[in-house]
């Protein structure tokens, strides 16, 4: 009988350990709330809350705005962040900034790239009562005067949202250096400015514009995707459909400080890969208006290097300074 009680006690302890509250972690969004970095941190928080065996962590969101990621990157490298419970959100725009030397003296190899969580495509949005009713109408407006419409987005000259606007102006036959562009610290602020009538056009990404679009607070006149997106965006035509050959893909992911032990980073990568392979995660991506794009480990490092090279070439073609 004593053995039965002991066995039962051990089983009970094992069960309690299996359902115990997970460890805590932090995800730093290197911008103000409401934009794509915020979205990435909310995504990793929710993926680690999925009802799967052995949840990995309860994630707390923190914000560290400045230079659209530059301040966070500098602190991670300069202070040699080593806490394995701290992630920082990044995007394709972060790699574009690295290619231009906007993260100071630091290079892509100076942090631990953890994983990509998903991808999305750019969008072009206007106010719901805007005089600009289609991408064709915007193209015609820019063709006669590059400064006729005020663009607003997260990041300054050379940011990925600035590049989207520049490519649209060039596609209209105009000089992108003559366009009017207002910089904001993140997509959330830019969308608020669009709704408030302070800018005419928002060039951002699908997921960060989704809530305002679903609420009827803005109108999407194009998605910058190879073909139409599904779900909430299924009625929005692509730029290509409207005679403008511009495509922009934005990857959402995480990096860690350079001082994080390789074994800790590898363990997190395994955990994220396991979750990203589940049907539950696929459904979660749909709620965030994202599409699957899962990389980690050596594959992740190779992707970052290749993207930085491509972004350096693109920036140079637009007359931007590169490093």
Domain with CATH 3.40.190.10 in the chain: 121-249
Q: What's the mean per-residue pLDDT of the chain?
A: 89
What predicted TM-score, i.e. pTM, was given to this entire model? 0.85
Domain with CATH 3.40.190.150 in the chain: 21-120+251-317
Closest listed residue to residue 122, CA positions, set 202, 206, 186? 206
User: Residues with Cβ < 8 Å from 147, sequence gap 6 or more?
Assistant: 178, 179, 180
Task: Write the CA distances from 293 to 82, 217, 230, 276, integer angstroms.
Answer: 26, 29, 16, 9
Q: Is the pLDDT score of 15 beyond 60?
A: no
pLDDT at residue 22, rounded to an integer: 47
Dump pLDDT digits (tens) for 203-257.
999 988 888 999 999 999 999 999 999 888 999 999 999 999 999 999 999 999 9
Locate 21 and state its tokens: 């509250």
**205 DSSP 8-state letter:** E
pLDDT at residue 11, rounded to an integer: 35
Q: Is the pLDDT score of 139 beyond 80?
A: yes
State mean pLDDT over 43-60. Answer: 86
SS (H, E, C) 103-171: CCCCCHHHCEEEEEEEEEEEEEEEECCCCCCCHHHHHHHHHHCCCCCEEEEECCCCCHHHHHHHHHHHH
pLDDT at residue 56, rounded to an integer: 63
Dump pLDDT digits (tens) for 53-101.
766 679 999 999 988 899 999 999 999 999 999 999 999 999 999 999 9
Within 13 Å of residue 42, how many CA atoms lie on the same side as its CB?
15
Task: Write the CA distances from 276 to 26, 43, 190, 268, integer angstroms.
Answer: 19, 11, 30, 12
Dump pLDDT digits (tens) for 147-203.
999 999 988 899 999 999 999 999 999 999 999 999 987 788 899 999 999 999 999
Dump pLDDT digits (tens) for 290-301.
999 999 999 999
Domain 21-120+251-317 has CATH 3.40.50.1370: no
pLDDT at residue 275, rounded to an integer: 95
Domain 121-249 has CATH 2.40.50.140: no
């Amino acid at each position: 009988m004593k053995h039965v009680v002991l066995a039962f006690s051990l089983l009970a302890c094992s069960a309690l350990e299996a359902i115990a509250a997970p460890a805590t972690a932090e995800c730093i969004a290197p911008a103000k709330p409401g934009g794509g970095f915020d979205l990435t941190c909310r995504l990793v928080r929710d993926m680690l809350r999925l009802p799967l065996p052995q949840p990995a962590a309860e994630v707390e969101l923190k914000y560290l705005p400045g230079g659209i990621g530059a301040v966070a990157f500098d602190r991670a490298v300069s202070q040699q962040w080593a806490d394995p419970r701290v992630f920082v959100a990044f995007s394709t725009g972060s790699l574009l900034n690295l290619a231009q030397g906007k993260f100071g003296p630091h290079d892509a190899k100076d942090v631990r790239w953890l994983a990509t969580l998903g991808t999305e495509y750019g969008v072009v949005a206007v106010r719901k009562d805007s005089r600009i009713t289609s991408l064709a109408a915007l193209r015609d407006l820019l063709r006669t005067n590059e400064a006729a419409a005020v663009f607003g987005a997260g990041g300054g000259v050379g940011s990925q949202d600035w590049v989207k606007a520049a490519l649209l102006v060039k596609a209209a036959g105009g000089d992108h250096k003559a366009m009017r562009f207002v910089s904001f610290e993140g997509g959330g602020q830019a969308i608020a400015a669009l709704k408030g009538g302070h800018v005419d056009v928002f060039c951002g990404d699908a997921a960060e514009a989704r809530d305002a679009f679903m609420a009827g607070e803005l109108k999407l006149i194009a998605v910058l995707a190879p073909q139409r997106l599904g779900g909430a965006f299924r009625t929005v035509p692509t730029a290509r459909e409207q005679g403008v050959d511009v495509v922009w893909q934005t990857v959402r992911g995480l990096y860690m400080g350079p001082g994080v032990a390789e074994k800790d980073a590898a363990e997190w990568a395994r955990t994220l890969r396991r979750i990203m392979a589940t049907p539950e995660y696929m459904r979660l991506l749909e709620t965030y208006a994202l599409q699957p794009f899962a990389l980690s480990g050596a594959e992740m490092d190779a992707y970052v290097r290749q993207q930085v090279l491509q972004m350096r070439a693109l920036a140079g073609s637009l007359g931007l300074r590169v490093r």
